[in-house]
Amino acid sequence: MVAATFGCASPDTEPEIVYVQGPPLPGVDQPAANASSTDPDVGSSAGSSTGVGPGVQPSTPLAPELPFVGEPVESPQPVGTASGEPNGPAPEPAQAMAMRGPTPAANGVNFPFPQNRHSEFCNYPTNYDNADVVAAFEKWKADVVTADGANGALRIRRLESDPVIQDDVHSTVSEGIAYGMLIAVYMGDQELFDGLWRYSQQWLNDTGLMHWLISSDGGGVLGSGAASDADEDIAWALVMADRQWGGNGSLDDTYLNLANTMIQRVWDHEIADGKLLLPGDSWGGWESVNVSYFMPNYYRVFAEVSGNQGWLDVVQTSYDTMNNSLNAENGNADNGLVPAWATSEGQPNGGVWGGGDAPTHYQYDSCRTPFRIGVDYCLRGEMQAYDYVQKTSAFFSGIGVANMTDGYDLNGTPRAQYSGLSAAFVGTAAVGAMSNPAYQQFLDDAYAEVRGLDLLVGGAYYDESWTVMSLLMMTGNFLDYTQLEPLLE
């Protein structure tokens, strides 16, 4: 075993990062609840940061840092770069099955798939297999990635099984482009990443952000205005691309410059009062909140990359707003089932779209919350995140994977939209359950279902996307590259 340790930290200081090459951790003890927020003021700063930007070469780790563990690779042959190019073909499933990361950097790729970097804060499915991720990625790519209607770029198309928007079955949403860029950067597919980014740039509004809905033939905008959940995912993916490949690939500017521009546009047009993430660039406010859009771990890195420490206030506002929505009146104080649309004070608000028909139960937006918040615990050890995912994990493990449905009233009463299991619900709940070894059986059961690639009742585009992203997270491949150093041979 080879270890590099950079010191220990007292409870009053930020821990130094530790990287270990060795077998994966079988589990970690439940952490002490010593850092949950009790500040009633919404938007108080979550803390300070060290001020470091990403680049091709590893930079100083971000705060708070954490240890990662990965199994040694049996062969130094990097997975996913067999052609010698950064965007080479994905490995055959048998090859991926035989290997565990971290895979050494090679051929211009700093973090080739698989990495399998385990956080000390989280647990992982007992018998996870990188071949499952490869299979999910290949199916997703074959089903939803297309050049048709992309005007020389690449786009993510919705499929017949997805809810039809504006009578265009194969339309593209900015959310899909964002999911695709996340998946591409973690799978090391640079050609796909660049192609999706180029598509997004064909459909910018006057704020420089992508319109949320584009016709399948590439002929025009079907839904105007930006969606902030997509925009923040795209910004994150660009930061990761800078660390993954560096430079600019086939694009006209560097990934880092594009990331900084994107971060600034989100700040200028989708952050209210320097604190609250709005649902878009042209509407929303303190009375129109979608908790499932919040991704606190992103905001910490945006602060580091941009030098704008105001992003740390967005972190705290996200937690304050989420916690406000969990209360006795809503019946969800203990189960973590956040409303789809609410006010910042936590009251469900079905009128945010103007007609009173916006959903306020736990549905296909809301179900993303255990993933988005769970990532902040796994990658940062944020105790506010831990407190939240204990609620969702207790609720869903109590139900059991086989008995889950794709919708709930806030009090936990099932409210199915379709019949069957959805990866967007099961996979995301599993990521939340990674936080505590008490939920290992639920995590293993959920992984076993998601790896089957058939939890698609919510629509193939959406559920396949969440299948891949959930598997990436559950196998230690959905990472914050700004905190990591590439493994060198």
Residue 183 DSSP symbol? H
- CA–CA dist 249, 256 (Å, integer): 11
Which 8-state DSSP code applies to residue 347?
-
β-strands 18-21, 68-70 pairing: parallel
Q: What angle do CA 255, 261, 265 make, to 5 degrees?
A: 140
CA 246, 251, 257, 261 dihedral sign is negative
Radius of gyration, alpha carbons of the chain:
21
CA pair distance 183, 193, nearest whole angstrom: 8
For 307, phi and psi rounded to 5 degrees?
A: 80, 5
301 closest CA partner among 354, 259, 343: 259
**Is 145 strand, coil or helix?**
strand
User: Catalytic amino acids?
Assistant: 175, 229
- Pairing mode, if any, of strands 2-5 and 221-223? unpaired
The Cα–Cα gap between 281 and 434 comes to 33
Q: Is the peptide bond before 414 cis (omega within 30 degrees of 0)?
A: no
**Amino acid (1-letter code) at residue 87:** N
Question: What six digits make up the tokens of 337?
Answer: 């089932």
How many CA atoms within 13 Å lie on the side-chain side of 183?
29
Q: How far is CA 142 from CA 145, 188, 328, 345, 460, in A?
A: 6, 16, 45, 43, 12
DSSP-derived letter for residue 227 is: B
Q: Is residue 88 helix, strand or coil?
A: coil
